[in-house]
Structure 1
Amino acid sequence: MALDESAAIGAVVRALEEGMGAEDLLLDVIASVQRRVGREWAADRITVAQEHAATAINDRAVTALTLHPSAQTAPTRGRVAVACVEGEWHALPARLLAEVLRLRGWRVDYLGAQVSAPHLVAHLHRTGPDLVALSGSLATRLPAAHAAITACQAVGTPVLVGGAAFGPGSRYARLLGADGWAPDARAAADALARGPLPRVRPGHHAIDDLPHLRDQEYTLVARSRPQLVGSVFGQLADACPAMRTYSEVQREHTAEDLSHIVEFLAAALYTGDEDLFCGFLEWTAGVLDARGVPSASLRPALELLGRELQDFPRATAILRAGAARLTRTPLSPAGTAE
């Protein structure tokens, strides 16, 4: 928190030189500190700027560690492409995996944050890796992850996935047809050490994994997100009179929160899992409470969104489940309070 990059990197390098393993430093020190940074931000004990600065220092500590002569390892295994799902900017987990795999003797192509499926497939054609390791932190990126998984498998490359987006457990990894899943970098490296991933089944098609997508609710909600956010935002001042006194910054944050709500609703529609949306609402309620914003302020937004989507049975059912999880008082089928 002192933003003392030199001291932070010095602590890591000294520990390495005193005999602590490079992999342990990556996962039990740097990754552990990063998780703590995330918890501190969620609890409103540090600012966004502090969180970004701490993340940057952690990233440079990874570089300093992996460039140290005692952490150099010659490749003895196959080739792995490590990438973040398109739209995913939380790159440190993927970076940590890439460095752990290098330490374990893999030749690693680390492609970084936000890699689209076409760019990933182009890399596979050019380099021919044995597998792809795909990282995602936000469940809103699951549709993009599904596209990437399917595209890689179509050219014969198996996909190992990991990150919070694919949990809890391997729930969404299995749903999206990934060839393997790991809860963390150490488990991923251990799994690959035991043997190659199974190849994709012949004749596999993404839509076969998710037959509920045929109702088009996901597509329509995802495409209409700007209009839904604008409509609900315009009505919120009447539903929440306190909004009339909001500053411009508060109004911007409210619009961002609405956009996230619709994004997670779309992700829940894509996966067919209302728990994805409900879990996001509970997390958001905790973040708002930590900042002195009553989590009850979410309820009017859910009610208004339900009215906008009253012709979408799966969407309104998910909204009712979310409201019930927050308040234990469900919304009616049209999205209004019973």
Structure 2
Amino acid sequence: MTTCTPQSLPRPEPAEQSAELLWNAVSAADEYTATKLVLRMLDEGAGPESVLLDVIAVVQGRVGEEWAANRISVAQEHAATAINDRAVAAVSVHSAARTTATRGRITVACVDGEWHGLPARLLAETLKLRGWQVDYLGAQVPTPHLIAHLHNTRADAVALSSSIATRLPTAHAAITACQAVGVPVLVGGAAFGPEGRYAKLLGADIWAPDARTAADRLAEGALPRPGADHQQFDDLPHLADQEYTLVARNSASLVRNVFTALEDAFPAMRSYSDLQRERTAEDLAHIVEFLATALYLDDEELFTSFITWTAQILVARHVPAHGLPPALDLLARELKDLPRATRILRAGTHSLASAPFTAAGNIA
């Protein structure tokens, strides 16, 4: 009988090559091959953290890019994400017997309304590998239930994830509530902006751009617990003008009014199919929601980035983007008495005029 020494173990494939192989399986909706590939990587000596973050996370990022470019459908994106989640579970089961909780306890959750759970799942599994006891609560966790969980578990910290910027007002409430019961908060995800610009504004104790950095930061030492006298500084004094509240509370009527005005301005809209009308209303609802969030943060760049991204998404789907500026102008008329809102909408219109689109709405 022969034995396999460490020197004779097969060398694991480079992460880039493994990611390409996993992408091929995921894009073909082949769950069996994807899971088998991940397990083979682990058996051949690849580190489980590298498999999670350098392979699965990379492939998931590509899934998002392919959807944005309209090279895969929403259904294909959902299927790919489900397979990647299954791959994460395979890594977790494979590594469970080798990891022991030697550190503290961390709660990992998505902000209420945030359904992109995979980034938080990747963080949870990375922290387990690093020796933490982890309570992973998944997507869309209502803040009252999160606080009840913290009371029951006495976690050392909570990690909140959000990918969608419109969930930031909810994230702010969750951060404040966690700190009020003495639990420090680490946040991460695309919602918190470039370099985590909104994390500090909303009072988070720490921000990390990715799961590996988050785990490294937590390993540096325990986060100080907020004391009973912890107070949130009023870093959002602009909310006193009530513009955010007015836009958020009246979003449905704003969408209706702008939709009707667009029909008057563009009679061809009256012949839209039910699906086209529904999609147009959804686009208007997203515009209003992002405007409200920009008002909450007093950050017009959040809105201009969203509106130019929306134009790119439309163009990728062969939908002319030239309908966006009139929609912003009509919304500005509805909100003419709100100076911050009209300023942000004007900035959005300017960003579209400066973007490399042709008159037909195609990228030049």
- TM class by shorter chain equals over 0.9
Separation in structure 2 between the aligned mates of residue 200 and residue 302 of structure 1, nearest angstrom = 42
Question: By how many angstroms is 1:295 displaced?
Answer: 1.5
* Contact 2:128 2:134 (8 Å CA) reproduced: yes
Match of 2:258 among 228, 232, 239: 232
Matched, 1:279 2:305: yes
Question: By how many angstroms is 1:207 displaced?
Answer: 6.9
* Contact 1:77 1:106 (8 Å CA) reproduced: yes
Give the aligned partner of residue 252 of structure 1: 278
- Which aligned pairs between 1:291-306 and structure 2 lie closer than 5 A? 291-306=317-332
Separation in structure 1 between the aligned mates of residue 222 and residue 325 of structure 2, nearest angstrom = 48
Question: By how many angstroms is 1:203 displaced?
Answer: 4.7
Give the aligned partner of residue 222 of structure 1: 248
* Contact 1:22 1:71 (8 Å CA) reproduced: no
Separation in structure 2 between the aligned mates of residue 65 and residue 248 of structure 1, nearest angstrom = 44
* Contact 1:66 1:72 (8 Å CA) reproduced: no
Give the aligned partner of residue 21 of structure 2: none
Separation in structure 2 between the aligned mates of residue 194 and residue 73 of structure 1, nearest angstrom = 20
Separation in structure 1 between the aligned mates of residue 70 and residue 108 of structure 2, nearest angstrom = 32
Separation in structure 2 between the aligned mates of residue 185 and residue 15 of structure 1, nearest angstrom = 20
Separation in structure 2 between the aligned mates of residue 45 and residue 153 of structure 1, nearest angstrom = 42
Computed over aligned residues only, the root mean square deviation of the Cα atoms, in angstroms, reads: 1.5
SS class of match (2:67) = helix
Unaligned runs of 5+ in 2: 1-26, 356-364
SS class of match (2:195) = coil
Tell me the alpha carbon deviations over residues 145-194 of structure 1, each in whole angstroms, 9 at most, x when there is no partner: 00000000001100000000012112100100000000000000000011
Question: By how many angstroms is 1:69 displaced?
Answer: 4.6
Question: By how many angstroms is 1:197 displaced?
Answer: 1.9
Give the aligned partner of residue 18 of structure 2: none
Separation in structure 1 between the aligned mates of residue 99 and residue 265 of structure 2, nearest angstrom = 61
How many residue pairs match? The answer is: 329
Separation in structure 2 between the aligned mates of residue 268 and residue 108 of structure 1, nearest angstrom = 33
Separation in structure 1 between the aligned mates of residue 98 and residue 109 of structure 2, nearest angstrom = 22
Question: By how many angstroms is 1:241 displaced?
Answer: 3.3
Match of 1:30 among 56, 80, 88: 56
Match of 1:165 among 165, 183, 191: 191
Structure 1 window deviating more from structure 2 (230-239 vs 261-270): it is 230-239
Separation in structure 1 between the aligned mates of residue 327 and residue 206 of structure 2, nearest angstrom = 38
Q: Which has the larger radius of gyration?
A: 2
Give the aligned partner of residue 360 of structure 2: none
Question: By how many angstroms is 1:199 displaced?
Answer: 3.5
Match of 2:69 among 37, 43, 55: 43
- Which aligned pairs between 1:320-335 and structure 2 lie closer than 5 A? 320-328=346-354
Matched, 1:83 2:90: no
SS class of match (1:296) = coil
Question: By how many angstroms is 1:244 displaced?
Answer: 2.5
Going from structure 1 to structure 2, the CA distance change for 1:299 and 1:207 (only over 3 Å counts) comes to farther
Equivalent position amino acid for 1:287 in 2: I
Length-normalised TM-score, structure 2: 0.88
Matched, 1:73 2:120: no
Question: By how many angstroms is 1:114 displaced?
Answer: 0.6
Tell me the alpha carbon deviations over residues 277-304 of structure 1, each in whole angstroms, 9 at most, x when there is no partner: 0000111111001011122211111011
Unaligned runs of 5+ in 1: 330-338
* Contact 1:179 1:200 (8 Å CA) reproduced: no
Question: By how many angstroms is 1:252 displaced?
Answer: 0.5
Structure 1 window deviating more from structure 2 (68-77 vs 282-291): it is 68-77
